[in-house]
Structure 1
Amino acid sequence: MRHLLSTKVLADGEIRQLEGAGWCIDHYDAISIEFLKTSVPPDDHLLIFTSKNAVAAFFQSFSKREVTACRSLCVGKGAAGMLAEKGVTVLEVFHSASELAGSLGEKYAADSLVYYCGNRRLDLIPETLDTLGLSWQEATVYKTILNPIKWDRDYEAVVFFSPSAVQSYTALNLMGPATGYCIGKTTSAALRKYTHRILCPETPDRTSLMDLLARPENELK
């Protein structure tokens, strides 16, 4: 039996899928999220979101009436769906923050932008905006709280959904022989400091990550 640790609590259906693929599962929340109110209004700015947490927190600060005329760029289909459901126009959906950053100078240099993010956001988007000399503001709409736990077993796989989860897990644990399964490129880049045994799904979403974990071991080699 192969042993897997997920750094996010899994749904019942996900557990059944992975157990059916031969995994023995431990799971916990390596991080928790606290929403913060922001006074930076969307107005007629172009909005940037690089996580579902940022989108959910944004909607805690502003009513649907205040956001229905907004335009946005975001990372991930999940975030895009949340935005569209509230009437926010999604101009483009990217697979990663680096892809989003690469589009800013070419397509959106004339826009005034607001980056809604967490307190542990990476520097990529702000540095890109500054380098391009764009007009922008940053609004911190949620706080990520690490929940480090020491695990006293070796795992064949450790599953990560964010760079913050990587930071939380590695605060008290070594990767050892485990393969790190990461939801996307930004998370895998954070994990690369600790191991080079990393696998990511082609599509950076939770369903694709579960499908990757459920594949027979011989198909991953």
Structure 2
Amino acid sequence: MRHLLSTKRLSDGEIRQLEGAGWRIDQYDAISIEFLKTEVAPDNHLLIFTSKNAVTAFFKSFSNLNFSACRSLCVGDGAAGMLTDKGVNVLEVFPSASQLAGSLGETYTGDSFVYYCGNLRLDLIPDTLDNLKLPWQEAPVYKTLLNPIKWDREYEAVVFFSPSAVRSYTGRNPMGEATGYCIGKTTSAELSKYTHRIICPKTPDRASLMDLLVRRENELK
């Protein structure tokens, strides 16, 4: 039986799914999230979200706001669902931050922006907005805290859900011969600094990542 380490705690259903395929699972939270209050209001700006954590923090900061006038661009169907459930008009949903950034100069040059993000956000979105000379504000709405733990065994697979989790895990552990399973391209780009054994699902979401792990384990039996 092959061993898998998840750098984010899995649901009971996900554990049953992976164990049913033959994986032996260890898990922990490689990072934790602290939500922050922001005074940067959405007003008439086009809002950018690249994570579900940013969406959650945004709603916490403006719990009494009527969101029906808000327009947004976001990464991931999960974030999009959270936004639309609250009445936010989601103009486009992108599979990655790089694709969102690429759309800014094509479609949205007449807009001003607020980027709701975490303290460890990547430079991609800010650099793109600056290079296009588009007006924008940054609103940090959550803080990512690393939880580096040293693991005493080697794993056949390590599962990552964010670049921050990659940094947390690799800060205390080598990848060795393990394959890194990453939820999306931004996470895999961070992991590529430490290993070339990387696999991503075609669709960057948890369900696709679990299906990929099941399929790979069945192929290797």
With structure 1 as the length reference, what TM-score do the two structures score?
A: 0.98
2:98–2:124 CA contact under 8 A, matched in 1: yes
**Structure 1 residues 218 and 26, CA gap change in structure 2 (3 angstroms):** closer
Q: Which residue matches 1:129? A: 129
For structure 1, the residue ranges without an aligned partner over 5 or more in a row are: none
Q: Which residue matches 1:205? A: 205
TM-superposed CA distance for 1:67, in Å, is 2.1
Percent of paired sites with the same residue: 80
1:87 to 2:87 alignment: yes
1:46 to 2:53 alignment: no
More deviation, 109-118/65-74:
65-74
Alignment of 1:1-221 (within 5 A): 1-63=1-63, 65-217=65-217, 219=219
2:22–2:217 CA contact under 8 A, matched in 1: no
Aligned partner letter, 1:159: V
Alpha-carbon distance in structure 2 between the residues aligned to 1:65 and 1:171: 40
Please give the secondary structure, in 1, of the residue aligned with 2:202: coil
TM-superposed CA distance for 1:155, in Å, is 0.2
TM-superposed CA distance for 1:84, in Å, is 0.2
Deviations 1:65-96 (A, max 9, x none): 33221000000000000000000000000000
Alpha-carbon distance in structure 2 between the residues aligned to 1:40 and 1:158: 37
2:158–2:178 CA contact under 8 A, matched in 1: yes
Moved over 6 A (4+): none
Alpha-carbon distance in structure 2 between the residues aligned to 1:51 and 1:58: 11
2:21–2:217 CA contact under 8 A, matched in 1: no
For structure 2, the residue ranges without an aligned partner over 5 or more in a row are: none
**Alignment RMSD (CA, Å):** 1.0
1:42–1:67 CA contact under 8 A, matched in 2: no
Alpha-carbon distance in structure 2 between the residues aligned to 1:200 and 1:80: 21
Alpha-carbon distance in structure 2 between the residues aligned to 1:194 and 1:86: 39
1:35–1:143 CA contact under 8 A, matched in 2: yes
TM-superposed CA distance for 1:219, in Å, is 3.8
With structure 2 as the length reference, what TM-score do the two structures score?
A: 0.98
Deviations 1:178-218 (A, max 9, x none): 00000000000000000010000000000000000011446
TM-superposed CA distance for 1:133, in Å, is 0.4
The number of residue pairs the alignment matches comes to: 220
Alpha-carbon distance in structure 1 between the residues aligned to 2:64 and 2:202: 33
TM-superposed CA distance for 1:64, in Å, is 5.3
1:55–1:79 CA contact under 8 A, matched in 2: yes
1:64–1:86 CA contact under 8 A, matched in 2: no
Alpha-carbon distance in structure 2 between the residues aligned to 1:25 and 1:177: 17
2:4–2:158 CA contact under 8 A, matched in 1: yes
